[in-house]
Structure formats: structure tokens, C-alpha cells
Structure 1
Amino acid sequence: MRRRLILSTLAVVLVVVAVFGVSLVLVESRTIENSTKENVRSEAVRLVATVESRVVAKERVTAQTIGVAASQGRYVRIDLPGDRPPIEVGDRPDGDVVESHATGAHGERVTVQESRAAVRAELGRTLLIILLVALLAVGAAAALAVRQAHRLAAPLTDLAETAERLGSGDPRPRHRRYQVPELDRVADVLDASADRIGRMLTAERRLAADASHQLRTPLTALSMRLEEIIATAETDDPEERALIKEEATIALAQAERLTDVVQRLLTNSRDPRTGSAVGFDLDEVVKQQIEEWKPAYRSAGRALVRSGKTGLRAVGTPGAVAQVLATLIENSLMHGDGTVALRTRVTGNQVVLEVTDEGPGVDESLGSRVFERTVSGHNSTGLGLAVARDLAEADGGRLELLQQLPPVFALFLSREVPDTDASATA
């Protein structure tokens, strides 16, 4: 912007200088030409009057007496009546000249000549003065343009930094003003927006903290109750007793995982920069989820299988990763069809966990918007995938829709390279 302001100002000044400069040059050249002709004519009239007065007074007319009255640098020729030779003063100019004649009452004739080279020299001096004035005007305009561009661009740059800082999550108002009404208005709006965003973030964090705190107590009570169920499961049928313990163990694992997620939300609400990502065995999380969801899939007459590379370690929060995977498996159970496949693979320095099914897929009108809150193609709340993506990003990963039909959701996590691989690489 600063460059455009300077160039536009200079362009306007150059156009004005060019238009007026050319006009001034034409006028000045015409003026100098006419002035020279008028001076030569006036001198011819003045000299013929001088010659006539000396002739009437019967004084001698010589080159010396006429040279005193003639202007320097001009050629003068005096033709007297009778057989007297002409009198010449000065050097006859070569080339093109400006010439004028005057005749006296007694037959005297005076011719005055001036070389056009002198006219051109005077015109050149005038053009030089005009050029210097034009350069001075352009220089002054450039200095003024730079000053004005800085005065306008610096506040805009500052406002852009303020907006960028506001978008990055720092809602502190800056309260800077620039003595330019339009820019001050933008600054007022940004400060007001910062205040509103700050209040909203504070309210959201307080709400998350309160909700997390309130959820911890019932979850703890639920965990204790499940532990009691496992400890007191008494029945004569060994298979039934084993089934009760298995279901209670799975429910307890789910409650503990949910407790970890709630605790993580509570910690993040107090300090969003706090992270709990660690290296963990991805196979254990996948195996845990398959065991938890197999009964539900058996009841629906569907299968849940896994494939791909095993023995992978990823960096993240195991509870959050399990919650993301549970969301994808539940979506496939509720909205998909056929077999649901979990596949693990490696790409670069990342571990990828894909979830796909044989259902109708994601509606074409939704596309990547399926991760937006309140966006759903099946009359649900639309929060599941949005929360799952937030959990993934909080661990430094990402959740993406790789393919709409058949649907393929992929969770990307940083890969933890084993010491053996690192040693081999070194």
C-alpha cells in the first residue's frame, strides 16, 4: 500500500509537471522569440534616429560613434545616401539570424542582425530553470508522498497486527489511536471486539471448568459403583458371573476414560497451553475399542475388524485418542452399514488410523463441513465429530474426511520413533 500511495502521488505530480512544463516551454520560447525580434527592431529605429541627427548636424558618422550606441553581440550595417561606403559595426553572424531594417528621412538605412544561436542559448537557460523547478517540485512531492504513505500505512500495519493477534486468541485491547478518524473508528471496533471476545472466552472457560468439576463427582461415584459390582458379582452360573464381570470391567474402563477426558477439559479450561501428550501403544487403544464395541456390533448383526501395520507408537493422550476413535466407531454403527474396518498405517513421521464402513457415506453437500458444530446429515446434534476434531488437534494431530463414498475418516497423530529405529537411522 505504501508503494502504491507513493507511486500514485508521484504519477499525479509528474502529469501536472509535464502538462504545465510543456505549456510553459512553448510560451517561453514564443516570448523569447518575439522579444528578440522587438529588441532588434527597436535598436534599428534607435540607431537610424542617431544617424539622422548626426547627418542633419553635419557631423561625421563613423563605426566608432555608432558602436558606442549599438548593443554588443549584434551586427549593424549603415547605408548612407550618395556614394559613401556602408559602415559596419560588429561581426556578421553566420547561419540563421533575426534581422530588422529602418530607413531615415534623408535616405539613411540601418540594418541590425542578431544570431539565432543567442536566442537558442537564452531559451536553453530558461528551459534549464524550468527543469530545475520541475525537479524541485517532484522531489518535494516525493518527500510529501513518503511522509503521507508512512502516516497512513503504519497505522494500517498496526491494525493488521492487532487483528492477527486477536485472531490468534489474544483478546487484549490495545487502545491505540492514530489521529485519523477512519482509522480510529477501525481501532474502536477492534477494541470493542477484543473486549467481547475476552468476555466470551472467559465465560466459556468458566463454563467448561464448572461442567468438568460437576461431572467429576458422579463419574467417581459411578466408578466406585462398578467396582462394587465387580467385587460382589455372585451367581451360581460361572458363565453369567464372567459375563457380568466382563461388562462391568468394560463399563469401568469407559468411565475411567471419560473421567480422564473431563479432567483434561478442566485442566485446559484453566490453562489452554497445558498439554498431556505422551507416547503410547496405538494397538492397545484400538484393541480396547474393538472389545468395547463388539457386543453392540454383534447385536446389530455387523462386524468390526482391524487391519494394517501393528506395533505402532503414537504421541498423544490415550484417553482423548480413544474418545475420538469411539466417536468414529459409533458414527459408523449409527449411520453406516456393513463391516466397519479399522486400518493403521504410517505416512512420513505420522501414524494414521482410518475408519471406514460400507454405508451410504457422507452427503456431497456436506463434505468437510461435517466437522462443523451443528452440522449433521442425520438429525443428530452435530457435536460428535466437532468435539473429536478438537480433541485430536489438542494433541497436535488432526481428524480428516479422506473419502465421502465409501466414507473414510482418518486420524493423524505424530509417530513416536522407537530407540532402535533412531539408532539405525543415526
Structure 2
Amino acid sequence: MRRRLIQSTLLVVLVVIAVFGFSLVLVETRTISASAQERVESEAVRLASIVDARVLGEEHVSAGILENQVEPGRYAVITFPGRKPIEVGDRPGGDVIHATTRGEGGETVRVEEPRSRVTREVGRTLLIIAGVALLAVVAAILLAVRQANRLASPLTDLAETAERLGSGDPRPRNKRYGVPELDRVADVLDRSAERIGRMLTAERRLAADASHQLRTPLTALSMRLEEITLTDDLKTAREEAAIALTQVERLTDVVQRLLTNARDPRTGSAVSFDIDEVIHQQIAEWRPAYRSAGRAIVSSGKRHLEAMGTPGAVAQVLAALIENSLMHGGGTVALRTRVVGNQAVVEVTDEGPGIPADLGARIFERTISGHNSTGIGLAVARDLAEADGGRLEMLQAQPPVFGLFLSRPLPERPPRKPSGPTVR
């Protein structure tokens, strides 16, 4: 591309120089020739006037007197009737420019100038025009190279940016070139890079969230299946199978919730549900793990609280808090329910050392963990709570207390009694 730009620019300049240069040479040649002819004619008229003045004054006219009146390099001859002609200067050979005029005394004055003088003057003019044309060509080449670099370099950068996007590097370059068309392409590429970056981040986040959220249900399901394989009691096998099917349904709900939250975090299907059912289900699921660790998990507080939300999402939030207490806490884990205004609150606390002071409110940030864990469990739990219309907060650091705030359903209004007299 750079070569084509230089060649096209140079071709245009050469065409312009050829057209205008030829016209200029033609005009200058004619101008110089006409000017030389005028000078010769003027010289002849001037000599004739000088001769007329001396003849009419009855003065002697000779070549020595007229020698200083003729410009060097020219030849003049004055012819008188009945007299020998007077010659001034050397008679030129070859082609000449001449002018003849007749004086009042009857004399004829002829002035000649060699055409070679005009040719030399035209040659000098042509050299000047050729020099200017050469300078114009050099300037055009330099300008074409600069312009080609200005256009080709940004295109090379844009091609490299597109190649980086294709190789999975979505970082925008935010580089502009001062050319509106190229800057527009750069804007589009930067916006595409940002969109691709957001999409890749969302995909990585979905993969991390899925691996974290599915780990516990899959572990519980595998434990139930192991119980089925180890028992010979048909009744026990059926009970374990029923529990396994329930866990499969919860696993499906977890996957569906993750996919829905990845598409649009604000999407929810809030319904009125009993918080006790979700709490009892979570305690039943986590009690074997706590018993293996020599710890207990209990519930207390206000019973039969109704809340607005998605039971599956609330169960995932509580599961994240219970798992966090199992991994990082100590002692008995308690789930307490209470009412604050028009909100139902589920608190999860344990008897462990609590949240380190250097973490503080950053405990909900992704990759933030004080015990070499993934650091995404609490972040996912907060996202799920907010997507479900609630919120998750750390109410106390030591001992740790986390609170899940959910909206309560509005009480039903009694039907209004009809006003006015009753017609019987």
C-alpha cells in the first residue's frame, strides 16, 4: 500500500509538471524571442534618429561615431543613397534577428543580432524551469512518503489490534491517529475489545461460580449414592434414593440459577415461601458434615416467617454461609431468624475467631480470602441475594455474624365494606 500511495502521488505530480512545464516553456520561449525582436527594432529606430540628427545638422557620420551607439554583439549597417554603406560591429553568421527602418534623410538602418543569443537565454530559462520541476518532484516524493507512512502505519496498528482480538487479548489500545476514518475504525475495535473482555470475564466468572456452587451438591449426591450401594435394606435404599432425587432437583436449580444470573443478574422469580423449610433442609444436608467435624449446627429465632424471594437462591446463599463457617469458623453454627421492619433476617454465626481485621468489608470481594480458599463463595452469595431482591451483609466481625435480609410479603387487606344504605 505504501508503494502504491507513493507511485500514485508521484504520477500525479509528474503529470501536473509536464502539462504546466510544457506550457511555461512555450510561453517563455515566445516571450524571449519577442523581447529580442523588440530590442533589435528599438535599436534600429534609435540609430536612425541619431543619423537623422547629424545628417540634418550637416554633420559628418562615420562608423567611429556610431560605434558606441550599437550594443556589443550586434551588427548595424547604414545605407545612404549614392554613398558607401557604414558598417558598425562584426557581421554575424548563421540565423539572425534583424530589423530595418528608414530615416528622414533617406538612409536605411538595419540592425542584426545572432539568434544564438536568444537560444542561450531560452536555455538558461529552461534550466531554471527544470530545476524548479526537480525540486517539486523531490518535495512530492518526500510528501508522498510522509503521507504513505501516516496512512500505512495506522493500518498496520489496526491489523495488529484485530489480530490480538482474534488471539484472545481483549485489551483496548485507546490509540488514535488524527485521521477521522481511521479513528472511527479504532473506536469500533476498542468497543469490540471491551465487549469481548466483558464476555470473557462473564464466562470465566460463570465457570468459577459453577465449579464452586456445584461442588457441595455433587459431594452430597455422591454420599447418598454410596449409601444406596452399601445398603441391602430396600426401605433405606428408597429413602436414600428419594433424598438423592431431591438433591438432583436442587442441583438442576443451582445450574439454572447460575445461567439465569449470568445472562441478567436482575432476573428473578420471587415468590412467597417459608424460611423454616429452607433452613431445615440446609441443616439436614449439612449435619453429616458437621457431625464428622465434631461440631453442631442448630437453628433458633422466630418461626414460620414468610419472605419474598426464590427458595433455590436463598438455599444457595445459606449453603455458602454454612460452608464458610465449616471451613473457617469453629464451634456450633447457629441460624437465627428475626424480623426488622418489613424485612425477614436470617443470621448465620459461629464461635470461631471471626473475620481478620485486614479484610473487613472486603470479605465480599472476589479472590479475597483469609485461608487460601477460592475467595468467591461469599461474592457469589451476595450476587445471588441482590439478584433475588435481598441483600447480604456482615453484621459483626468477631464472632462472625452474617445477615441475609429478605423482603416480607405485604399483608392482605380485608375487603372493603360497601358504603351507603342497604337495599332490601
Offset of residue 28 of structure 1: 0.9
Q: In the alignment, what sits opposite 1:164?
A: 163
Alignment partner of 1:47 is 2:47: yes
Is 1:81–1:106's contact at 8 Å kept on the other side of the alignment? no
Q: SS where residue 176 of structure 1 aligns?
A: coil
The whole-number CA distance in structure 2 between the counterparts of 1:25 and 1:96 is: 21
The whole-number CA distance in structure 1 between the counterparts of 2:224 and 2:94 is: 123
Larger mean Cα displacement after TM superposition, 43-52 or 179-188:
179-188
Q: SS where residue 69 of structure 1 aligns?
A: coil
Q: In the alignment, what sits opposite 2:95?
A: 96
The whole-number CA distance in structure 1 between the counterparts of 2:30 and 2:109 is: 26
Is 1:96–1:116's contact at 8 Å kept on the other side of the alignment? yes
Amino acid of the structure 1 residue aligned with 2:105: H
Offset of residue 18 of structure 1: 1.0
Q: In the alignment, what sits opposite 2:201?
A: 202
Offset of residue 232 of structure 1: 7.9
Is 1:66–1:89's contact at 8 Å kept on the other side of the alignment? yes
Offset of residue 217 of structure 1: 5.1
Q: In the alignment, what sits opposite 2:185?
A: 186
Alignment partner of 1:74 is 2:41: no
Larger mean Cα displacement after TM superposition, 212-221 or 97-106:
212-221
User: Within 5 Å, which residues of 2 pair with 1:161-310?
Assistant: 161-216=160-215
The whole-number CA distance in structure 2 between the counterparts of 1:8 and 1:64 is: 65
Q: SS where residue 106 of structure 1 aligns?
A: coil
Offset of residue 123 of structure 1: 0.5
The whole-number CA distance in structure 2 between the counterparts of 1:149 and 1:131 is: 26
Amino acid of the structure 2 residue aligned with 1:48: A
Is 1:93–1:114's contact at 8 Å kept on the other side of the alignment? yes
Q: TM-score, normalised on structure 2?
A: 0.51
CA RMSD of aligned residues (A): 2.4
Q: In the alignment, what sits opposite 1:60?
A: 60
Q: In the alignment, what sits opposite 1:12?
A: 12
Q: In the alignment, what sits opposite 2:23?
A: 23
Q: In the alignment, what sits opposite 1:111?
A: 110
The whole-number CA distance in structure 2 between the counterparts of 1:155 and 1:78 is: 77
Amino acid of the structure 2 residue aligned with 1:145: A
Offset of residue 220 of structure 1: 5.5
Which residues of structure 1 form unaligned runs of 5+? 234-426
Offset of residue 229 of structure 1: 7.9
The whole-number CA distance in structure 1 between the counterparts of 2:114 and 2:58 is: 33
The whole-number CA distance in structure 1 between the counterparts of 2:168 and 2:59 is: 106
State which structure, 1 or 2, has the greater radius of gyration over its C-alpha atoms: 2
Offset of residue 227 of structure 1: 7.2
Which residues of structure 2 form unaligned runs of 5+? 233-424
Offset of residue 187 of structure 1: 1.6
Q: SS where residue 77 of structure 2 aligns?
A: strand
Amino acid of the structure 2 residue aligned with 1:133: V
Alignment partner of 1:154 is 2:157: no
Offset of residue 218 of structure 1: 5.9
Which digits, 9 at most, give the CA deviation of each residue in 1:37-80, with x for residues without a partner? Answer: 12111111111111121111222212221111111111111112
Offset of residue 205 of structure 1: 1.5
Q: SS where residue 37 of structure 1 aligns?
A: helix
Which digits, 9 at most, give the CA deviation of each residue in 1:185-244, with x for residues without a partner? Answer: 2222111111110010011112223334455556656766777788889xxxxxxxxxxx
- The number of aligned residues is 233
User: Within 5 Å, which residues of 2 pair with 1:344-423?
Assistant: none
Amino acid of the structure 2 residue aligned with 1:203: A
The whole-number CA distance in structure 2 between the counterparts of 1:231 and 1:95 is: 131
Larger mean Cα displacement after TM superposition, 152-161 or 9-18:
152-161
Q: SS where residue 171 of structure 2 aligns?
A: coil
Q: TM-score, normalised on structure 1?
A: 0.50
The whole-number CA distance in structure 1 between the counterparts of 2:182 and 2:131 is: 38
Offset of residue 22 of structure 1: 0.3
Offset of residue 146 of structure 1: 2.3
Which digits, 9 at most, give the CA deviation of each residue in 1:304-347, with x for residues without a partner? Answer: xxxxxxxxxxxxxxxxxxxxxxxxxxxxxxxxxxxxxxxxxxxx
Offset of residue 23 of structure 1: 0.4
- Identity percentage of aligned residues: 71
Amino acid of the structure 2 residue aligned with 1:12: V
Offset of residue 143 of structure 1: 2.3
Q: In the alignment, what sits opposite 1:142?
A: 141
Which digits, 9 at most, give the CA deviation of each residue in 1:268-307, with x for residues without a partner? Answer: xxxxxxxxxxxxxxxxxxxxxxxxxxxxxxxxxxxxxxxx
Offset of residue 142 of structure 1: 2.2
The whole-number CA distance in structure 2 between the counterparts of 1:90 and 1:165 is: 85
Amino acid of the structure 2 residue aligned with 1:140: A
The whole-number CA distance in structure 1 between the counterparts of 2:215 and 2:89 is: 118
Q: SS where residue 68 of structure 2 aligns?
A: helix
The whole-number CA distance in structure 2 between the counterparts of 1:43 and 1:212 is: 109
Offset of residue 138 of structure 1: 2.0
